């Protein structure tokens, strides 16, 4: 406990899903957490749950596609708390339409990039001057996706945007490391949350579980624990890293599940 004591942390997109798990673990470790997203009622519910457990949190409305709301989030956080020690870029709109290259319109492509890459870039850009001015520096944690690990039958724009988050992470780490600012990226695998569990078909769960190396799906806390490490002083020598937290799904040959079902080790 208290691994983040005295730190001010912004967690974007923390009104549901993975973001809630991160925000709650951050508060449990002693951070002052700024919960933010578009849905004020859900955001306040997260704040109430944190404060009921003795943690410290506040809510700020933010739309990841609206630069003015991003600017207000950063300015108000600094004015209220005096610093930004940790920035977790979790916000993204996963409900946007995607598909194959021939199916995508420019409007569909641009909407996903605006939400999943441009927004992450702009939050970082707005936070950097404050982190650079503070001698403590800071930790930036981008939430990517295992979709950027390779090609897919669909989700072309989403995977491409998340691949951009990977390279943005490494660029920020390189350009501002000497300012005592580190930047890392976490690529979640299949994370089953209270918000999406009913919408994830059993067939999809079965496909994933047959390829995951452990005996369960991921949960928000799996990503949250990694975010605690990257936000804490335990990771001051870790920067520019992209870690995939997917139960080992992307660490083996793609034919493993099929051979396992055949009772065979290889061809």
- Active-site residues, by number, are 158
Answer positive or negative: Cα dihedral of 24, 21, 234, 58: negative
C-alpha pair distances (Å), 97 with each of 60, 100, 146, 231: 27, 11, 18, 33
Single out the residue of 11, 30, 32 nearest to residue 22, CA to CA.
11
**Rounded Cα distance, 116 and 107, in Å:** 14
Q: What is the DSSP letter of 144?
A: -
Single out the residue of 179, 169, 188, 187 nearest to residue 239, CA to CA.
169
Which region holds residue 54: left if phi is over 0, alpha if psi is between -120 and 50, else beta?
A: left
């Amino acid at each position: 406990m208290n691994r983040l004591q005295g730190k001010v942390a912004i967690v974007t997109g923390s009104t549901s899903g993975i973001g809630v798990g991160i925000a709650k673990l951050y508060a449990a470790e002693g951070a002052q957490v700024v919960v933010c997203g578009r849905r004020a009622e859900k955001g306040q519910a997260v704040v109430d749950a944190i404060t009921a457990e003795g943690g410290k949190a506040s809510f700020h409305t933010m739309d990841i596609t609206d630069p003015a709301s991003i600017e207000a989030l950063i300015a108000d956080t600094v004015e209220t708390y005096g610093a930004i020690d940790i920035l977790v870029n979790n916000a993204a709109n996963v409900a946007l339409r995607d598909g194959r290259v021939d199916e995508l319109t420019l409007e569909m492509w641009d909407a996903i990039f605006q939400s999943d890459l441009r927004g992450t870039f702009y939050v970082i850009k707005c936070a950097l001057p404050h982190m650079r001015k503070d001698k403590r520096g800071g930790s930036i944690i981008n939430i990517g996706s295992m979709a950027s690990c390779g090609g897919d039958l669909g989700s072309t724009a989403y995977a491409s945007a998340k691949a951009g988050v990977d390279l943005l992470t490494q660029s920020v780490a390189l350009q501002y490391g000497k300012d005592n600012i580190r930047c890392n990226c976490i690529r979640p695998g299949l994370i089953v949350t209270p918000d999406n569990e009913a919408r994830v078909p059993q067939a999809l769960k079965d496909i994933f579980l047959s390829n995951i190396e452990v005996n369960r799906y991921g949960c928000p806390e799996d990503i949250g624990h990694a975010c605690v490490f990257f936000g804490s002083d335990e990771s001051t020598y870790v920067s520019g890293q992209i870690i995939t937290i997917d139960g080992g799904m992307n660490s083996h040959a793609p034919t493993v599940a099929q051979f396992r079902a055949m009772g065979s080790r290889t061809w």
